[in-house]
Amino acid sequence: MVAKEKILLQMKDISIEFPGVKALKVVNFTAEAGKAHAVVGANGAGKSTLMKILSGAYNHYTGQIFMKEELMHITSPKAAKEKGIQVVYQEVDTTIVPYLSVAENILLDEIANGMEKKFFINWKSIYKKAEEVLKVLNINIPVKKLAEELTLAEKQMVLIARAISNQCKFLILDEPTAPLSNNETEELFKVVKDLKSKNVGIIFISHRLPELFEICDEVTVLRDGEFVISKEIKDITQNKIVEYMLGKSFNQSFEKRNFVSKENILKIENLRDKHKLKDINFHANKGEILGIAGLVGAGKTELCNAIFGASEQVTGDVFLRGKNIKIKSPSDAVKNKIALIPEERRKEGILTEESIAVNISSTDLNKFSKTLGFLNLKKEKEISLEIIRKLQIKATNVNQKVALLSGGNQQKVVVGKWLHTDAEILIFDEPTKGVDVGAKEDIFKLIRDLADQGRTVIYASCEMSELLGITDRIYTIYDGKIVKELKTDETNEEELLFYSTGGH
Amino acid sequence: MSINNNVQTVNREKSNFQVFDFLYKYGTLITIVLLLIVFGTAEKNFFQPGNIVNILRSISIVTIIAIGVTISLTVGGFDLSVGSTASIANAVIISLFVWHKQGTFLAIIIALLIAAVIGAINSFLIVKIKIPDMLLTLATMFIFQGVALTYTKGATISQNMVMPDGNFSEGQLTEAFIKIGQVPWIIIIMMVIVILVHVFLNKTKHGRYMYVIGGNKEAARLSGIPVNKYKVFAYMLSAIFAAIGGIILASRVQTAEINAGAPYLMDAVAAAYIGLSVGGAGKPNAFGTFAGSVLMGILQNGLVMLSVPYYSMDIVKGVVLTFALALTYWKKK
């Protein structure tokens, strides 16, 4: 075998700022061709930002990037590609053209940019080139097949093939295994190993720690935008990585709640959905704050939506106060006194162009209606004012458009619209996402009040410290399955993160 | 110095914005007033009471059909098949009188029931099969137009027409039915519909739910609102108002011409879109649609008086619709 050329990719003293946040602080990162290098960190640690800089998506960073000791000016995705740095993003569907063939998708860059003065496409050569690329990767997909007929894993392979068809020294794989089944993951790893042997450097971003040990040679840990450590993977354990990801665990101050009720209100058995969830079993008690801990892509949102009847093809049994009920739509859920505060509040939670009052009353207009369905606008205003006061929503009046409120205040409106209803089970999906510290405190207080009133709160989040502070009991979810039930008093952040990253 | 400059640009931007906002809110009303002044000075007969009534009468069918379009817009939909639905209602009701000698009440009920079926077909395909509103109603527009043509065998239905057996038809339109299309009833019906629909959309929970669905379908769904039920309801209403338009048209011209309802589609869509902005509502509303319809009516009436030929009228109407759309989408930008 020919001796491989040793190529180093070095990122030195990389810093970047976004309005109000220092996303990366003097980060150093080195990858080597022919090896797979894992980049790990909790949510918000800066992994994606670092990779976006490397692939040219951001150009306002400071610091230098070298390849083979040569300074590179990467200021656009095109520049990065020309230097041989290719990316395959997690959302494959955004970069695949569904009604073109596999061959066209693989050679898209060439068709788009390499045509020069030619007018007609040379189909023969396209199919031939595509076949060659696939052969190099040992992938078996017919090149004339339409991309829309491919499975998710095959689409990913096509994108990897596209990256390889260009000049490719380093390939960034952003959470590539998240949507794949075990078999598909095996296939992917075969390709990755193949690429390694062809002296391509793989930069591998993943939340799933066990698989890093299978495929990667080195690992770099980031935390809060800072470089923590870089090590050979054989010199480190999964527990150690979790420790580095967390650093010194700083505890936010939370009041202790003395929770006693054992009255079972909700019981879920063998819940599964079409894509993500597998055999979910859990129960929630009256007045309890129940945490669902999981990282991005673990299936938290899917679980919340499945309970709420907002996703299709859900099977399994739901028992409410011991009675087996069928929830086929959100409307059924609301009738059964279940409420959902969704993660994507601008897209799913609020009516931006409407007033606070209209938003708040939208969950139960019967309450604000008189005979013949006429609205009682006076009552709507009174109750809205009451909720604004209670949640300390910063607004000039009840008729203010919700679009003009800050993120935290919008979130309060999303929560507020359920307060006047008689909802007994409230599902919060990442309620503190994009919310400032002050508003967070208000939301925590509110959630605690709700539980004290005897309502049940299901709190799904990837923020382990917040889960520890607010909940009474936690289920950790990983890859669509509940892996562990934990008492909040008896666990810690490390343990939560350990189970959330696939430990067992 | 630079600070001063900044302040100035900010102010200028702000005042630009305010001017645009003002025009957006009151543009339609200002245009109506301007048109009245222009036509009033150019043509002294314009302000004759007879002409005012004439304008109101001429816009009533458009307004009623446009109210249907407005309702489909409130749930974030769009009904392009209203013109064809009006054609069907027109053909059916005239045929019931002329061919089948039915009474006024029964004829109207049957025409409205058929409209309800049309609305149900549209909404089933939109809600269950999930075909995008505009494409589906474009397709059904042709289907229903064809159905109307086939039903009348491609011919005009009128009183005393020659039947296939060679005899003259014997059925007649009833007195009561003919009254519907005459002043003052035609104007009264229009005003009652506008007011009722306005109250329904703004003062009842059903109207509110429809606006919530139009504002953010996903948020509406996750708030537990039965989105599909209201969409079906909206398309049924849309078809029924189109049919009412067709029935009044039948009463006014007393025949069923082929494709009689088709020309009303563009005017109705234009009226509904002009109406979006009226009084700063920013969403489909019945009074706005009425104002939009008035604007179109005055424009048409005035241009006819000024001897603009009928065959050029579509240019003007198309430009007005384009302008209304530009205003709506530029505002959203």
User: ipTM score here?
Assistant: 0.79
Interstrand relation of A36-40 and A201-205 (parallel, antiparallel or unpaired): parallel
| Residues A183 and A309 grouped into a single domain | no
Instruction: Name every residue whose Cβ is closer than 8 Å to that of residue B211 and which is 6 or more positions away in sequence.
Output: A354, A358, B74, B201, B283
- In angstroms, the first-to-last Cα distance of chain B is 32
CB contact under 8 A, A373 and B222: no
The answer, yes or no, to whether residue A486 has pLDDT greater than 80, is yes
Mean pLDDT of B318-324: 87
Domain assignment present for residue B22? The answer is no
Q: Does A260 score more than 80 pLDDT?
A: no
Q: Are A298 and A208 in contact (CB under 8 A)?
A: no
Examine residue A154 and state whether it is found in any structural domain, yes or no. yes
A180 shares a domain with A162? no
Chain B interface, best mutation among A351, A355, A369, by max B CB count within 10 A: A351
Structural domain contains residue A255: no
Kindly report the nearest CA distance between residue B98 and chain A, in angstroms.
Answer: 39
The answer to whether residue A118 is domain-embedded is: yes
Q: Quick check: is B92 in a domain?
A: yes
Question: Residue B170 pLDDT more than 90?
Answer: no
CATH of the domain at A292: 3.40.50.300
Q: Would A253 be classed as within a structural domain?
A: no
A333, A455: one domain: yes
For residue B149, being part of any structural domain is answered with yes
Residues A324 and A428 in one domain: yes
* Domain residue limits at B116: 28-161+171-332
Among A215, A246, A277, the domain boundary falls at: A246
pLDDT reported for residue B5: 43
3 state SS for A196-255:
HHCCCEEEEECCCHHHHHHHCCEEEEEECCEEEEEEEHHHCCHHHHHHHHHCCCCCCCCC
Q: Identify the sign of the CA torsion A74, A77, A83, A87.
A: positive
What is the Cα B253 distance to its own chain's centre? 19
Q: Which of A394, A421, A448 is the last residue of a domain?
A: A421
Strand order in the sheet with A85-88: A70-72, A62-67, A8-18, A21-32, A226-232, A218-223, A36-40, A201-205, A170-174, A85-88
- The answer to whether residue A504 is domain-embedded is yes
Pairwise CA distance, residues B330 & B328, whole Å: 6
Look at residue B17 and tell me whether its pLDDT is greater than 90: no
pLDDT, tens digit (0-9, with 9 covering 90-100), for A43-94: 778 888 899 899 988 888 999 999 888 888 888 888 888 889 999 887 787 8
* Last-in-domain residue among A166, A190, A206: A166
Residue A412 or residue B234, greater confidence = B234
Give domain status of residue A25, yes or no: yes
A365 touching chain B per CB within 8 A: yes
Max CA distance (Å), chain B: 92
Closest-CA residue of B relative to A377 is B203
Residue A400 in domain: yes
Name the closest residue on chain B to residue A369, using Cα atoms. B205
Question: Do A80 and A174 reside in the same domain of the chain?
Answer: yes
Number of domains chain A contains: 4
User: How much is the pLDDT for A248?
Assistant: 56
Q: Is residue A370 located within the same domain as residue A384?
A: yes
User: Which residue matches tokens 């009033």?
Assistant: B40
Flag whether B256 is in a domain.
Answer: yes
Whole-number pLDDT of residue B4:
43
Average pLDDT over all residues of chain B = 89
Chain B 225-244, residues with CB within 8 Å of chain A CB atoms: 225-226
**Same-domain pairing of A319 and A216:** no
SS3 B255: coil
Asked if the structure places residue B7 within a domain, the reply is no
Residue A461 lies in a domain: yes
Domain count, chain B: 1
Which residues are bridge partners to A64 per DSSP? A12
Whether residue B261 lies inside any domain: the answer is yes
In a domain, B20, yes or no: no
β-strand A473-478 against A289-293: which pairing, if any?
parallel
| Contact call for residues B29 and B291 (beta carbons, < 8 A) | yes
- Decide if B208 and A354 are in contact by the 8 Å CB cutoff: no
A427 & A503 share domain: yes
Do A75 and A205 lie in a common domain? yes
* Residues of chain B contacting residue A352, judged by C-beta atoms under 8 Å apart: 215-216
Tens digit of pLDDT for each residue in B128-165? 999 999 999 999 999 999 999 999 998 899 988 888 88
Cβ of residue A334 closer than 8 Å to a chain B Cβ = yes
**Cβ-Cβ contacts under 8 Å for B111 (sequence gap 6 or more):** B89, B92, B93, B96, B243, B246, B247
Are A331 and A353 part of one and the same domain? no
Q: Which residues of B140-160 are buried (b: 16+ CB within 10 A; e: fewer)?
A: bbeebbebbbeebeeeebeee
Find the CB nearest B222 among A330, A352, A369.
A330
Q: What is the CATH number of the domain that holds B303?
A: 1.10.3470
Domain match, A294 and A364 both: no
Q: Number of helices (H) and strands (E) in chain A: give both, helices first.
A: 17, 20
User: Residue A316 above 50 pLDDT?
Assistant: yes
User: What is the distance in angstroms between the CA of the first residue and the CA of the last residue of chain A?
Assistant: 40
Peptide bond preceding B184 in cis form (omega within 30 of 0): yes
pTM here is: 0.80
Domain span including residue A301? 266-337+423-504
Q: Are B35 and B295 in contact (CB under 8 A)?
A: yes
Q: Measured between beta carbons, which residues in chain A are less than 8 angstroms from residue B283? A: 353
| Strand pairing report for A170-174 and A201-205 | parallel
**A456-461/A425-429 β-pairing:** parallel
Of A89 and A320, more confident? A320
Cross-chain Cβ contact A353/B282 below 8 Å? yes
Q: Is the pLDDT of residue B81 over 80?
A: yes
Same domain, A414 and A427: no
Residue A502 has pLDDT above 90, yes or no: no
Angle (deg, nearest 10), helices B82-98 and B227-253: 50
**E strand residue ranges, chain B:** none
Assess whether pLDDT exceeds 70 at residue A445. yes
Q: What is the sign of the dihedral through the CA atoms of B175, B181, B182 and B186?
A: positive
Per the CB < 8 Å rule, is A362 touching B225?
A: yes
Handedness of CA B278, B284, B285, B287 (dihedral sign): positive
Give mean pLDDT, residues A26-49: 88
CB contact under 8 A, A310 and B219: no
B2 in a structural domain: no
